[in-house]
Amino acid sequence: MITKKKYRKSFLKKFGLGFPKIATKNVVWIHAVSVGETKAVVPLAKELKKDHSIHLLVTSGTETGHATAIQELPFADSHAYLPLDFFYIIRPIVKKIQPSLLLISETDLWFSLQKSAKEYGAKIVLVNGKISERSTSRLKKVPFFSRSLFDTIDYFCVQGEIYKSRFLSLGIASSKIVVTGNLKIMPPPSLINRETWRRRLGISQDTVVLTCGSTHASEEIALLDLVEDIPNVKILLVPRHPDRFDKVAALLEKKGISYSRFTKNSASLARVTLVDKMGILNICYSLSDIAFVGGTLTKKVGGHNLIEPCFFGVPVLYGPHIHAQPDLFELLTKFEAGAPLAQLRELLISSQKRKCIGKNGLKLTREYALALPKTISTISLLFEKSYPDKIGALPRDGAVVSSLGS
């Protein structure tokens, strides 16, 4: 791990060095391993922080995740890297903090962390939960370990029915599983000044804007090749990981492709702009006519958040590999809010088709942006059953609470 540049900053902190010292006892600990998991819990963290008596601790597993947490969750009281999951490292930290509530985003479960938190009285909830078919199969082969891992969790707030069925197959009681929906289907931040951002990104008035978001190695060039002979197209390349910014730039230069870099503030009208800055993907989506979601041309990845562009009425394009986002892909297909990458040229030409698919995406987001109140209600119910004075200001949704036991 220490040999990789992107892990050097966090190496010693993985052993618990410099972990925040927290005096208060009313600690809510949110763990989100990387960028996607962190972004998913932002609205949830904001709601929890409305109770000012809470000390909000956010831990990350990667350096990009940590940077995202600091940027997206500046209101958190403490930020840290999650130490290595060895009892002799994690248990003393948990003993000192003794969190009231541990929230784990999506799939990053850690036996020692969960066992220690439970030992010192914490309630544990998996939020925006999911589990892959591969992980399910593996855990079935080690039932003793999986049972020990899952028994510490009070509620599983899962993204969809497919994940509920997988957790059920692992022996988890149905009463502990709540289908809350996907926290990533959340309204974007406040509106931006479109003209200012168009100038900053070098977008002229007569171009069709294609954002290629969260891209991985080999995806950028594959996408550029598809539109090479189509005029009046502005491409915004937004690599998934910041350590690839320079690599993508070098690749563009090697291919002789004219481009500008966002951080150079050149407002260039070059055909391609490399967005080499974290945290502005949604801004790029909001300025787009079409959006391609990365990771879908890469079998190892299997796709990222397919719904983000829908909030801006932007049609979504994807490659053949969407196995990491089955629930989001199902919604996208159900509402006809996206299309395979093979339809890129057709969408670039037809503004009417872009408009139609974009409207479908807006309809999707209006109908399915309910994960936050359902998740909050589940947590509220948990504390009502145990010690209601602990987190008294949590928002409540009576309709959701009353349905949890059904």
Q: Which residues are catalytic?
A: 37
Distance CA 212, CA 259 (A): 14
Residues contacting 152, CB < 8 A, separation 6+: 114, 115, 117, 118, 124
3-state SS of 61-88 is CCHHHHHHHHHHCCCCCEEEECCCCCHH
Counts of helices then strands in the chain (DSSP H, E)? 17, 14
Distance CA 38, CA 34 (A): 6
Distance CA 298, CA 367 (A): 30
3-state SS, residue 123: strand
Residue 78's nearest CA partner among 54, 61, 51 is 54
3-state SS, residue 395: coil
CA 161 to centroid of chain Cα atoms: 19
Distance CA 212, CA 233 (A): 12
Tokens of 383: 């504390």
